[in-house]
Structure 1
Amino acid sequence: MRLTDPNTRLGRFLHWLFEISLVLKGLFAAAETLSGLALLGMPGNAVLRLAQWLTHRELTEDPHDAIAAALLNAAQHFSIETQSFYGFYFTSHGALKLVVVVLLMRGVLWAYPGAVALLTAFVVYQMYLWSLHHAISMLLLTALDLVVIALTVREWYVRHGFAIRHSSQK
C-alpha cells in the first residue's frame, strides 16, 4: 500500500486529515493575527487596566490568590515595548501562516515546499523557545506542525503525481 495513493482508504483519510489540519492552522493563524492587531491597536496601559479589572474582585476576596496575583504581576511588567514586539510578532507570524494555508487550500504547487520550509523554521524556533522555558504549549504546537509538515509532503507528492515505490516492487 502506497501512502501517496489517493484512491485507497488510507489515502483518502490522509487527504482529509491534511485538509482538517489546514483548517486548524488557518483558525490558529487568524486568531494569532487578530490578537497581534489588537495588541498593536491597544493603548499602552490597556493590558494593565484589563488585568486590574479581571483580578480586582478575586484579590479583594483573597489577597493571596496566586493566579490572580501572578496575572496582575505579569501585566505590571508588560511594557509598551513588549506589547509592540508581541503585536508585531503575532500579526506577522499569523498573517504569514494564513497566506500559506490559503495557498495550500488552493493547491498552489510551489506553496507545498514553501510551507514545509516555513513550518520547519517555526519548529526550530519553537524548540529554541521550549529549551528556554519548557512550556508544554511549545511541544504541542511543534507536534501539530510536524504532523502538518508530514501531511504537506505527502500531499505534494500526490499532487505532483510522484509515487513512492513500494519496496517489494522491482
Structure 2
Amino acid sequence: MRLKLSRRQLLHDSFLISISLKGLNGLAEVIGGVTLFFVSPQQMQRLIEILTQHELRQDPNDWLANQLLRGGEHITAGGISFAAVYLLAHGIPKLAAVAALLKGKLWAYPFSLAVLGGFIVYQLYYLATKPGIGMVLLTGFDILVVVLIWLEYRAKRRERERPAA
C-alpha cells in the first residue's frame, strides 16, 4: 500500500510541525525569562562553575568551558534582567501567535507574520554585525515558517470564501 500525500496536506503538516516547534521555543523562552528574574549573578556564576567543572577536570584548557567561566565573572544583575525581559519579549508573542494559529483564528496569521517578520529583521541586522552559523540557521528556519504561515493563511482564506455546497 502506497501512501500519497497531496501537496496541500504536506504543506499543512509542515505548517503544524513548524509552528509547534516555534511554540516549544516560545515556551522555553518564557520559562527561561521567568526563571532569570529569580537568579542572582552569584547563582548564575555558580551554575556555570557546576556545568563546566567536569569538562575542566578532563581538560583544563578547554576553550569553551574557560570562555563560559570568564563570561560568568562579568554577569551583572542588570544583564540578567535584560536577558529575562528579552526572552519574555520573544516568548510571549510566539506563544500567543502559536496558540491562536492552532485554534485557526484568521487574525493570527497576519499577527504571526508581523511578529516573525520583526524577529527576522532583527536577526538580519544581527547577522550583518555579528555573523554566525547559528543565527543563519535560525533566520532560515524563521523564513521557512513565514512562508508556511503565508501559504496556510491563503488556503484558509480561500476555504472561507468558497460558498457552502
What TM-score, normalized by structure 2, do the two folds share? 0.87
The amino acid across from 2:9 in the alignment is R
CA distance in 1 between partners of 2:53 and 2:8 (Å): 54
CA distance in 2 between partners of 1:31 and 1:50 (Å): 18
Q: Which runs of 5+ in 2 are unaligned?
A: 160-165
Change (3 A) 1:15 1:52: same
Q: Which has the higher contact order (CA 8 A, sep 6+)?
A: 1
Give 1:48 shift.
0.6
CA distance in 1 between partners of 2:85 and 2:96 (Å): 16
Aligned partner of 2:72 in structure 1 is 75
Give 1:85 shift.
0.3
Alignment of 1:1-170 (within 5 A): 9-60=6-57, 62-161=59-158
Confirm or deny: 8 A CA contact 2:100 2:108 kept in the other structure.
yes
CA distance in 2 between partners of 1:72 and 1:56 (Å): 10
Confirm or deny: 8 A CA contact 2:34 2:84 kept in the other structure.
yes
The amino acid across from 1:120 in the alignment is G
For residue 40 of structure 2, give the secondary structure of its aligned residue in structure 1.
coil
Q: Which runs of 5+ in 1 are unaligned?
A: 1-7, 163-170
Alpha-carbon deviations, 1:74-129, whole Å to 9, x = none? 11122211111011110121111010010111111111111111111100001111
Alpha-carbon deviations, 1:136-167, whole Å to 9, x = none? 111111111111111111111111117xxxxx
CA distance in 1 between partners of 2:150 and 2:59 (Å): 53
Confirm or deny: 8 A CA contact 2:41 2:75 kept in the other structure.
no
CA distance in 2 between partners of 1:155 and 1:61 (Å): 50
Runs of 4+ in 1 over 3 A off after TM superposition: 56-63
How many residue pairs are counted as aligned between the two chains? 155
Give 1:28 shift.
0.8
CA distance in 1 between partners of 2:65 and 2:102 (Å): 42
Give 1:57 shift.
4.6
Alpha-carbon deviations, 1:18-43, whole Å to 9, x = none? 01111111111111111111111212
